[in-house]
A = this chain, B = another copy of it.
Amino acid sequence: MHFDAPLPLQSGASLSGYQLSYETYGTLNADKSNAVLVCHALNASHHVAGTYDGQANSEGWWDNMIGPGKALDTTQFFVIGVNNLGSCFGSTGPMHTNPATGRAYGTDFPVVTVEDWVDAQARLLDVLGIHKLAAVMGGSLGGMQALSWTLRYPQRVGHALVIASAPNLNAENIAFNEVARRAIVTDPDFHGGHFYDHGVIPKRGLRIARMIGHITYLSDDVMNEKFGRQLRAAALAAKNGKPEELTGYLYSTQDAEFQIESYLRYQGDKFAEYFDANTYLLITRALDYFDPARNFGGDLSQALAAATCKFLIVSFTTDWRFAPKRSREIVKALLDNRRQVSYAEIDAPHGHDAFLLNDPRYKNVVRSYFDGVAKEVSQ
């Protein structure tokens, strides 16, 4: 969808002549009351569910959650996935041509915030003729967008599902984001953000960024269970059906000695192949900046007074990036405003990643919540 009218941004800048990539699933009902907007996090896109014909491994990133008969049932709801501005999966972003200069935006792409994304999503809904969402839903950074929807467009949201999220990032989270950004920005192939002109990609920085991300998405427990101190050589032997024996150390500082090292390198390499470096900077910064309580002297209860919809808040016990206590802050602030809020704290071992995984208790909570939403929606 192309938009000609400039979008005013939180920074004071504005973005003119942009486009948004989006996908929809299911059928919009006659009174357009069954729409559910699904917001994505760092490295995901508008492709939230289903597969593309003839493309292997093309499942949407939340395909275990969204589809016919699934927790978010596309036979009942009209689901919309939108790629955010500044991302690298179709919507206007740093790799696209800056009309002002005729070359790729690069680091000249304006800094976008959660609020800006929400405004852009609202304009898309305007064009689709959807005045009010049955629900808005997201995990992690997507949860921040869902929360922001309830504050910027309270009359346009029936329900908000805020999963594995937080009312803002704490210092440690900002710190991890900053290290990842510095790794990218100081990669000589970054070229001040205009690497497209040089035909290179700051892959070294992207790899480091992704490795840090993976460590923080997983819990200590699941990492120990999945990798522990297993040596790569022992893992390879096991994979090839060879007898397990005590493999000697390689005594190397550069070879991947432990299985966890091999895993992280693989994930880093894969990510550097498809993700845009400038997008990584923009999206981590949107995470850093989100802080609805900021204009209320840090008082989250005051900040959330604007929200009028009903809420489901979900957190996961081993998530140390978006810890349950951060979700409980949201719950408390909503209750302070006497809002209707359900809260589920799922005892899951997988850390922050749990919100993307197929945990039956988690899925049942979401399914049951949407069963309630469906009753409010005319079929």
Contact = CB atoms under 8 A, between A and B. Distances in A.
Interface in A11-63: 11-13
A10 interface: yes
Interface in A323-370: none
Contact of A183 (B11, B176, B183, B252): B183
Given A111-B252, A288-B257, A183 B171 contact: no
Interface in A245-276: 246, 249, 251-254, 257-258, 260-261, 264-265, 268
A98 to B, nearest CB: 16
A174 B208 CA distance: 15
A229 interface: yes
Interface stretch (A119-127, A147-155, A219-227): A219-227
A168 B229 contact: yes
B215 A261 contact: no
26 contacts: A11-B249, A11-B251, A13-B251, A107-B253, A111-B253, A170-B224, A171-B223, A171-B226, A171-B227, A172-B215, A174-B258, A175-B211, A175-B214, A175-B215, A175-B223, A176-B215, A178-B264, A179-B208, A179-B212, A179-B215, A186-B204, A186-B207, A186-B208, A188-B188, A229-B291, A253-B285
Given A171-B220, A174-B261, 18 more contacts: A10-B251, A11-B249, A13-B251, A111-B251, A171-B227, A172-B215, A172-B223, A174-B258, A178-B260, A178-B261, A178-B264, A179-B264, A181-B253, A181-B254, A183-B183, A186-B208, A229-B291, A246-B295
